[in-house]
Structure 1
Amino acid sequence: IKEEAPPPPPPPPPPPPPATPPPPEIETAKFIENIKPVEKAVEPPPPQEELKDVQIGNENKEGEKLVGPPPPPPVDEGKGVVTPPPPEDENKVFEKVEIEASVNQAQWRRHLENQLVRYIEDAANSGMAPGNYTVNVRFLVEKDGSITDVKSLNDPGYGLAQGAAEVIKRGPKWSPGEQNGKKVRSYHTQPITFQIQEQ
């Protein structure tokens, strides 16, 4: 059995280098620059005598002297044609207006509920599956509040779209929409939901 000798100790670390002394502080003085604004030389205006026969401008220029006053600008004799703006189309139909067409909501709702009952019963008796069916009806509110151009935008079947359009045609008058303070023709869309129940 061979005994191993312990390893030799590591050499001691080298001594730290000697500290260098800080450099000596040097005396300084704060420098303040004295800036003076440069004044522009103001040139006095020329005497009135020198301005009698020259045109007034932004700079001095050599050239011909004026003999008389400058010519007057050309006179407009008013013979041009002024085109007025095109007249507004009194029957223009608006999709969007500043003030929407409106109706007495309680009266309108009562009208729809009373008139749509028979179409709901007809659809249920014809075998339409129970559920909620919505028909969107688009119509034109005229300047006098009457309703025209009534169209159903979708049709769930069983006569509901035609019934919704008929009921809206027979509805009460509306207050027309307004654009720029004037009553105008405008479109309105009314969703109508039919509740079909089991028979």
Structure 2
Amino acid sequence: MKTSTLLAALLLIFNLSTFARSSSEDKPVAAPKAALVAPAYRGGDRAHNAFRMEILNKMIRAAVQQQLPAGSYNVVLRFDVDSRGNVSNVQASSGNGFGLEEKAIELFRKSARWTPAQKGGQSIKASHSEHFRFEVM
């Protein structure tokens, strides 16, 4: 009985000393970062695709009027969506010329409100980009 009592006491002391050990020996666990959800066009993918097609069609019509030479064209717009979903600071980061970027910017500024980006459940301002690709044959 003395042996089992002594063993139980030693086990209890060992467990208490392990429990009381400083946590500085353990590696700190990083808090999970809040997920960033990108801004999105309101109405879902179908509405977004319709909006993009409208801009693309008007850009192509403008290109035909400008007698755009045959080739592949890529218009890239960068813009901000504020925490209320308003689009601002629309700029072209491509340089095709022929008025393509200017037409795309003009049309894109008329965009309806977007769903703003989210971080940690809060609406935030975020930058976004859209690419418009087409070929003239």
Matched, 1:148 2:88: yes
Matched, 1:100 2:38: yes
- TM-score normalised by L of structure 2: 0.66
Whether the 8 Å CA contact 2:56–2:132 is kept in 1: the answer is no
Counterpart-to-counterpart distance in 2, 1:152 and 1:140: 12
Which has the greater radius of gyration?
Answer: 1
- Taking the TM superposition and a 5 Å limit, the aligned residue runs for 1:28-107 are 98-103=36-41, 104-107=44-47
Q: Amino acid of the residue matched to residue 164 of structure 1?
A: A
Whether the 8 Å CA contact 1:120–1:195 is kept in 2: the answer is no
Aligned to 2:124: 184
Q: Report Cα offsets for 1:27-65 as digits up to 9, x if no partner.
A: xxxxxxxxxxxxxxxxxxxxxxxxxxxxxxxxxxxxxxx
Stretch deviating more after TM superposition (140-149 or 118-127): 118-127
- TM-score normalised by L of structure 1: 0.47
Whether the 8 Å CA contact 1:142–1:176 is kept in 2: the answer is yes
Whether the 8 Å CA contact 1:151–1:165 is kept in 2: the answer is yes
- Taking the TM superposition and a 5 Å limit, the aligned residue runs for 1:131-170 are 131-170=71-110
Give the deviation of 1:160 after TM superposition.
0.5
Aligned with residue 127 of structure 1, among 67, 70, 76: 67
Aligned with 2:80: secondary structure? strand
RMSD, aligned α-carbons: 1.7
Q: Amino acid of the residue matched to residue 73 of structure 2?
A: Y
RCO (CA 8 Å, sep 6+): is it higher in 1 or 2? 2
Specify which structure has the higher proportion of strand: 2
Whether the 8 Å CA contact 1:108–1:171 is kept in 2: the answer is no
Specify which structure has the higher proportion of helix: 2
Aligned length: 101
Aligned with residue 110 of structure 1, among 29, 50, 56: 50
Give the deviation of 1:179 after TM superposition.
1.6
Whether the 8 Å CA contact 1:133–1:194 is kept in 2: the answer is yes
Give the deviation of 1:128 after TM superposition.
1.4
Counterpart-to-counterpart distance in 1, 2:85 and 2:100: 25
Whether the 8 Å CA contact 1:116–1:163 is kept in 2: the answer is no
- Note the residue ranges of structure 1 that are not aligned, 5 or more in a row: 1-96
Counterpart-to-counterpart distance in 1, 2:106 and 2:48: 14
Counterpart-to-counterpart distance in 1, 2:48 and 2:135: 18
Q: Amino acid of the residue matched to residue 140 of structure 1?
A: D
